[in-house]
Chains A and B, each alone.
Chain A
Amino acid sequence: MIGSLDISTLQVIWWVICSIVGALFLFMTFVQGGQTLLWQIAKTDQEKSLVINSLGRKWEITFTTLVLFGGGLFAAFPKFYATSFGGAYWVWMLILFTFIMQAVSYEFRKKPNNVFGSGFYEFLMFINGSVGILLIGAALGTFFTGSNFSLNEYNQVIWGSPLRGLGAALYIRPGTVFNICFGLFLVFNARTLGAMYLVNNIDFTSNRDLEERTRRQCLVSFLISLPFLLYVLVALLLMDGYGVGADGVVSMVAHKYLSNILAMPWVLGMLVVGLLLCIIGVTRTGLGIGRTGIWFGGSGTFLVALALLFTAAFNGTAFYPSFSDLQSSLTIHNASSTHYTLTVMGYVALLIPVVLAYIIVVWRKMDFIKIGVDDVENGHAY
């Protein structure tokens, strides 16, 4: 059945699947956001343990979603995988280092004889939530602003700058500001989401101060994220983009992303609804209305991320452009796997709803009772 679809349709479907996984990852970065909130909202050891244990129930899902995002792109768009990971070497390596640090921190932080002390592991978590997310944002920013590479006749990537990807945040060119703002927006959005999640997940009956501080940080983080978000949105609508003609030739097109959004009204709809949901989420958590802010903020983030990833790749656009050699730019059509592989993987992707279903079941079962002091003061806590 899937095999009867033509290759272009499969490429679109696979970009949608990868985008869904990527957007889910950005929702799940509430874990990283929560990690950077730790030093501001948790004043005592017990408060820290509440926050860490609450996040600790979810960190692996975030981590795995990132891994799947990488794996999905490898299987469906191997040329992107080879070009970006091999080319923007240092960006990805630094991102990976921060995630390696995170993976041990939950388990090791409170264990006796952990060599470096719990403060060290909290610091690693902070690095993961700040530097890690900033760099992921900068890397995603290059989907719009382009990178400095070319592909030779064997499709090997020749990277044009010795900075190997760090140029996305260090190069002196207009795109850099966009990339950094995108990264900073993601950092503060993750913090906003982190606060929303914690308010939803922790039983504050015995500690109203912690709740108060968490809710305030939701508002503060959101306000800090706003200028970055506005810059990203305005710049995106104004900038020239990398258009692909019917003949496959890439050229700079004025206001490319604006015209993409206008040409795909449903993407515009997702963007607007997503932003509104985020605002509803912030008002709910930030202004003390209930505990459900995360579901609004989370689905809002998901929709906005999806809209941006669609804008980057659909409507004849190169999703991983090269500003130094336009014709080396990657599109979902020239970077993809074969029809056969996309078909096979299409069948495999039917498992994704099953995976989502059991994650939801387990999430509900585990979070039915909120995390309280009792949960963090027994031997099985992080």
Chain B
Amino acid sequence: MEIDLASVNWAQAQFALTALYHWLFVPITLGLSFLCAFFESIYVKTGSKEWKRLTHFWMTLFGINFAIGVATGIILEFEFGTNWSTYSWMMGDIFGAPLAIEGIAAFFLEATFFAVMFFGWNRVSKGFHLFATWMVAIGSSLSALWILVANGWMQNPVGMRFNPDTVRFEMENFFAVISNPVAISKFTHTTTSSFVVGACFVISISCWYLLRKKHVRMAKRSIAVAATFGFIAAIATAVTGDESGYDVAVYQPMKLAAVEGLYDGHEGQAIVAFGILNPDKKPGVEGPEFTYEIAIPKGLSFLATRTLNGFVPGINDLVYGNPEHNVMGAVEKIEKGKLAVAALKDLKAAAKEGDDAAKAEALTRFEANSDYMGWGYMKDPVDAVPSVPTAFYSFHYMVYVGSFIIFAMFLFLIFSRRGSMDRHVWLQLLGLLCFPLMYAASELGWVVAEVGRQPWVMQGRLLTDVAATKIDAGHVQATFFIFLVLFTALAIAEVSIMIKQINLGPEAE
């Protein structure tokens, strides 16, 4: 199979670009939709005009953000087809289902009730309007659920088998796909962290008002609700993050080794709380992993195996194998993979010639190593290692900010309850800082997930290089730059509109 690497690289760059742009808007939508629902619920319960104004204000910002989230989202679904058509064919029998379910079960909820949420104030009853707002919030989280089931499956492919006749993976167990532990931890971690992003969005803007001594009452009320929601969500993010880490250890040990910068695994493995990677360290090359490190003894073993002395494989173990701990390395997997690829080729040739005996023989050989087929296309065992610095630093940033935010939310909660948020400039400055910090953490979370999975598009089964569409790099490059210009222009407009709306503040009483 010939592979045009330039084309693959541009396709990857394009997916990264469009996904990261999309993710600029989605976490705000996920979090802010629920906050709008909380605000409106309080309005409906109290009948207070002020809560209605407050709801209106945040909904306006929600709407601006939602529109561009929709715009940048449509492309991702179709990009699987345009840029990753081999993937779409080989995985479509399983992967297409959650995408279609997302459309049926989630997008229509959002699309239908969004119009009520924004234009129904004088057209439907108060109760129905509130219902619509909740439906938009639930719809947005349901949409996250299905796309994360799809993504979880890419990280840990379950519930399917490879069919050599059709040359594709076919679904055998839908319930295994939707109850995939990776999908569940991805969904819970992604949504709860997005709730935190939404809460930070509200808190940062509100703190800016407090600093400017504008809309003080509205800002304090907004912070009180957002901090409560944000604090609970931040703790949930930590819990689900831990679960997510455990799943990575079980299903994607190479990703774990990369995010921890671990080359040689040990029993009772320490975890690096802070470290600077040694840039000269490579797989199979002697030398320290870090130039500076602060480690917590046995931490990684506990995280990855839930025991203090469990063995955690490092990059070298996973590339070259570690028989002592029963770890099969990439070297051996590639050998088995090559046997499977050769057997598949023979199988195809025998089928073409109608030679049943040769076909049966090739099938037996294929079945023996079919689990490693994807490895057969890997050129060098070292290619199995994702970018360690990207994974390591992104992951650590995410953990630092996640921990910091729990503490910050706790402070906002305490000072909100005391009613003194408007009296502490340091707290307001801290609030201002929360959103950009958390925003970056949310984006880097995806960097960890996707860069950490490389070189695979479907963990252990299909290499990214093989999955791309057969197309000249020039086409993909051209669409990459069109996206870059278009999305940047739209993002500039979005930010400009958003800043203006924040400056205008809530409508006058």
Q: Which residues of A contact B (CB under 8 A)?
A: 53, 56-58, 60-61, 63-64, 66-68, 70-72, 74-76, 78-79, 81-87, 89-90, 92-93, 96-97, 99-104, 106-108, 111-116, 153-159, 162, 164, 337-338, 340-341, 344-345, 348-349, 351-352, 355, 358-359, 362, 365-366, 368-369, 375, 379-381
Contacts and interface: CB of A to CB of B under 8 A. Distances in A.
Nearest to A340: B171
B101 to A, nearest CB: 5
B170 interface: yes
Interface residues on B, range: 35 or more
A107 B67 contact: yes
B89 A85 contact: no
A154 B103 contact: no
Secondary structure type dominating chain B contacts: helix
Nearest to B104: A351
B299 interface: no
B46 to A, nearest CB: 21
B348 A153 contact: yes
A82 B89 contact: yes
B10 to A, nearest CB: 12
Contact of B104 (A113, A116, A348, A369): A348
Contacts, number: 262
A100 B85 contact: no
B292 interface: no
Given A90-B475, A375-B119, A379-B56, 8 more contacts: A61-B112, A63-B74, A81-B81, A81-B85, A86-B88, A113-B499, A340-B172, A362-B112
A68 B479 CA distance: 23
Name the residue in A82, A111, A115 with the highest tally of chain B Cβ atoms < 10 Å from its Cβ. Answer: A82
Nearest to A374: B122
B82 interface: yes
Contacts of A154: 1, 86, 167
Interface of B: 1, 56, 63-64, 66-68, 70-72, 74-75, 77-78, 80-86, 88-89, 91-97, 99-105, 107-108, 110-116, 118-121, 123-124, 128, 132, 166-168, 170-172, 174, 348, 469-472, 475, 479, 482, 486, 489-490, 492-494, 496-497, 499-501, 504, 507
29 contacts: A60-B112, A61-B112, A74-B81, A78-B96, A79-B92, A81-B88, A82-B81, A82-B86, A84-B81, A85-B88, A86-B469, A93-B482, A97-B486, A100-B71, A100-B74, A103-B70, A103-B71, A107-B67, A111-B497, A153-B167, A157-B470, A164-B475, A341-B94, A344-B171, A358-B108, A358-B112, A366-B116, A366-B119, A366-B120
A112 B496 CA distance: 9
B348 A78 contact: no
- Centre residue among A63, A97, A111 by max chain B CB count within 10 A: A111
Nearest to A85: B81
A97 B102 CA distance: 22
